[in-house]
Amino acid sequence: MIGQFFSGVSALFQGFGYWKKKPHLMLLGLIPALIVFLLVGAALVTLLFFVDDLVEWATPWAASWDEVWRNVLRIAFMTLIVAGGVFLSVTTFTAITLTVGDPFYERIWLSVERDLGDENPGEGLGLLAAARGSLWLVGMGILAAIAVAIMGVIPLIGSVAAAVVGVTLNGTVLSRELTGRALDARRLLGEQRASVIRGNRAQLLGFGVATQLCFMVPGGAVFTMPAAVAGSTVLARRLLDERGLTRAGSPANAEQ
């Protein structure tokens, strides 16, 4: 289990290796990531700027409390809102970037696929499919942010538990979405797709958690995004190879 987790982490490091192998291609992946990062960053800064007013508006019933307890409550609310906003910003960044930058990231995906020996892996997601996946990603990000906010109110261990749960949930969602391109290209649906995911949850979690942590480093999301696309392709190919689903004449290719 632990070995599989770190195997998933290693896939992200292999993705970073493409900065050396294909620097010009990876630089293209920076363009949509940087644009969306600035937009999402501006939204997060706006939240931080108005969080005091937001908390005060949300807790009018505490206005008559003793000042000490009122401040404790509002600081707790402020912490929850900021923590939820940070986790939501990560999934929002990923979702919008994958949609806006679909042509760029499809080129990275295809290049990695060919490096791994598959000249014709199938067609990419397409803009509409990418947009649907992004909406799903944002929805799951909202649920993760709510979970983080709820767990944050637990005394003593709340903040630590919220951080662990938030990284785990967001990491799981990120890995499913990022590896989806290779699975969709091979028309893997239903039970076939579920079996790939079910048998490799630890690897997917390792990749997703590592990606999530890199995204949370200031400015790290921009440089990590192209590597995450490349690394997720490496991971997806690894999982598909184990089941013989990327070879000529495989069940996936036979359906195309």
Domain ranges of the chain: 2-245
Residue 18 above 70 pLDDT? yes
Residue carrying structure tokens 């696309």: 229
What pTM, to 2 d.p., does this model score?
0.80
CA pair distance 133, 51, nearest whole angstrom:
30
pLDDT on residue 226: 94
CA pair distance 242, 7, nearest whole angstrom:
14
User: Are the C-beta atoms of residues 101 and 32 closer than 8 Å to each other?
Assistant: yes
User: Are the C-beta atoms of residues 232 and 207 closer than 8 Å to each other?
Assistant: yes
Residue 130 above 70 pLDDT? no
pLDDT on residue 253: 45
CA pair distance 230, 28, nearest whole angstrom:
13
Residue 251 above 60 pLDDT? no
Residue carrying structure tokens 């929002």: 92
Both tokens assigned to 246:
């990327």
Q: pLDDT band at residue 250, thresholds of 50, 70 and 90?
A: very low
How many other C-beta atoms can be found within 10 angstroms of the C-beta atom of residue 48?
A: 14
> If you average pLDDT over each of 70-79, 185-194, 209-218, which comes out highest?
209-218
Q: pLDDT higher for 9 or 101?
A: 9
Q: Element (H or E) spanning 221, and its range?
A: helix 220-242
Residue 121 above 70 pLDDT? no
Q: pLDDT band at residue 252, thresholds of 50, 70 and 90?
A: very low
Mean per-residue pLDDT over the chain, rounded: 81
CA pair distance 219, 93, nearest whole angstrom:
12
pLDDT on residue 119: 67
Q: pLDDT higher for 117 or 33?
A: 33
Q: pLDDT band at residue 6, thresholds of 50, 70 and 90?
A: very high
Which amino acid would we find at residue 26? M
How many other C-beta atoms can be found within 10 angstroms of the C-beta atom of residue 109?
A: 23
Residue 149 above 50 pLDDT? yes
CA pair distance 132, 13, nearest whole angstrom:
28
Residue 73 above 70 pLDDT? yes
Q: pLDDT higher for 91 or 210?
A: 210
Say what percent of the chain tops pLDDT 70: 84
Mean pLDDT value of segment 150-163 = 70
CA pair distance 212, 83, nearest whole angstrom:
14
> Which of 104, 182, 97 minimizes the C-alpha distance to 138?
97
Q: Element (H or E) spanning 168, and its range?
A: helix 158-185
Q: Element (H or E) spanning 57, and its range?
A: helix 23-58
Say what percent of the chain tops pLDDT 90: 27
Q: pLDDT higher for 65 or 156?
A: 65
Question: What letter does residue 60 receive in the DSSP assignment?
Answer: G
pLDDT on residue 199: 74
Residue 120 above 70 pLDDT? no
